[in-house]
Amino acid sequence: MKFFIDGEQVKAENPEAIQKLSPVTGELLYKFPSASENEAELALDSALDAFPSWSSLTSSQRGIFLRKTYELIEKNRSELENILMRENGKIISEAKGEVDGVLDQLSYYIGFERKLNGDLVEGDTNTRKILQYRVPYGVVLALTPWNFPAAMVIRKLAPALLTGNTIVLKPSSDTPGSAEWIVDKFAKSGLPKGVLNFITGSGSAIGDYLVTSRKVSLITMTGSTVVGQHIMEKASANMAKLILELGGKAPFMVWKDANLNDALNSLMWAKYSNAGQSCVAAERLYVHGDIYDAFLNAFRNASMKIILGDPTNATMGPLINKKALSSTSKLVSEELQSGSVVSEMSKETLNNRFNNGFFCKPVLVESDEQKSSIFQEEIFAPVIPAMRVFDEEELLDKANDSKYGLASYLFTSNLGMAMRFSEKIRFGELYINMPGPESSQGYHTGFRLTGQAGEGSIHGIREYLHIKNTYIDFLRK
């Protein structure tokens, strides 16, 4: 693996610093470089030098390169699907679905060519006007996660580039391969040198150097709340603009009048898609007491059918690494010791090839301890706690009782209840009688420790644009 700096592939000073293990088998896949401060500085300088010429282009001129990149990804999409299966452990349907999402997002953002408007504002007299321009920030530092390593790269790169910013991209050390592949397609689109730069390395090794650089005007990061808080602290010295999508603890709420088949099918997606490693994953299950036993029995039966192992025929993939598997096992053990009712919902037996993979069987934890860790902390695995509720206000209170506030789910046939929750739920997204995920035209944002700002839609595009004002008296000489 090589870096991409100033329009060229660059061999790293330390090319085999980090090991990447297969989530499926636990075997070594490859080794890749960790950037030095000098290499990070070269990438930042390249982006800074490219900014004046890139930002002077029109959005339609910049969009040409996004269109060519779209064509290259679409033509070679099977390569990206295989990378996602190999380094992330995604099952084949999820790998294909992520590439679909990559293309959907690119197509969506390309549609904003020639639509990046400013405003003409009335002045204090009839001869005065205020011109409000929306202009790019400058150098964007894009820090992307491992759970959707291709889709999140495009979600950040496409709007940043279209709006005239230049970029230094550092992907997660768990999934650098998909980011490298996408950068290669941007390079082959003819993107001017320096506009997009790519380096790898752990956050602990190079992250602080990047986020504290005065050359960075905007930082967009998807990851854990702890890392997001660290970035806020370090970036505060230079007052860089921040777009942070952090933790989630989505409540999945099933009321007694819900269509239970729809609720069950949606829960299977919301909990087990990507092995529960999603910011919009169902993390807490609240079911009305009248249907609690019947619904949980149906959920157990459906979960028992999950197939683990080979990504080409499995129905759920592994966790991303050994650390994730260990922390999940520890959490389940703690719940057993606390007296919760813990059910492992699988009879799956892995063959020898996958025994050392990071697979986690589905687990249901029944508990009435709302303040317990399993109801309060993000799990990021195919494990879910469940609780009975009987009162609408109780349900709303328990759902809002979280330090996170990204996604939430409600299943009910009561329109009044749906509208009340739509107004009172303190989450950035509420899915009523449907599964996720978010759409490209939706604004992906949240409350509390979920982060700040957001991505997607025209609102997400404008996060990459700064407003500046020109006051003019057009009759004064």
Known catalytic residues? 245, 279
Contact present, 426 and 380 (Cβ < 8 Å): no
Q: Is 302 exposed, middle or buried (0-12, 13-18, 19+ CB in 10 A)?
A: middle
3-state secondary structure of 149: coil
What does the alpha-carbon distance between residue 157 and residue 177 come to, in Å, rounded to a whole number?
16
For residues 245 and 444, the answer to whether their CB atoms sit within 8 Å is yes
Task: Using alpha carbons, select from 253, 265, 340 the residue that is nearest to residue 289.
Answer: 253
Q: With residue 99 as reference, give the H or E element that holds it.
A: helix 92-110
Collapse the DSSP code of 120 into the 3-class scheme (helix H, G, I; strand E, B; otherwise coil) and give the result. strand
| φ, ψ dihedrals at 323, nearest 5° | -60, -40
Per-residue DSSP letter, 284:
E
CA-closest candidate to residue 176, choices 40, 19, 316: 19
Give the C-alpha distances (Å, rounded to integers) separating 34 from 39, 43, 44, 202, 312. Answer: 9, 13, 16, 7, 31
Q: Is 456 left (phi over 0), alpha (psi -120 to 50) or beta?
A: left
How far does the chain reach from its first CA to its final CA, in angstroms? 60
Amino acid sitting at position 173:
S
Q: Point out which residues pair with 242 in neighbouring strands.
A: 219
Give the alpha-carbon dihedral of 280, 281, 283, 285, to 10 degrees: 100
SS3 330: helix
Strands 383-389 and 363-366: parallel
DSSP secondary structure code for residue 191 in this structure? P
Question: What token pair was written down for 276?
Answer: 């529960």
Q: How far is Cα 167 from Cα 141, in angstroms, rounded to an integer?
A: 6
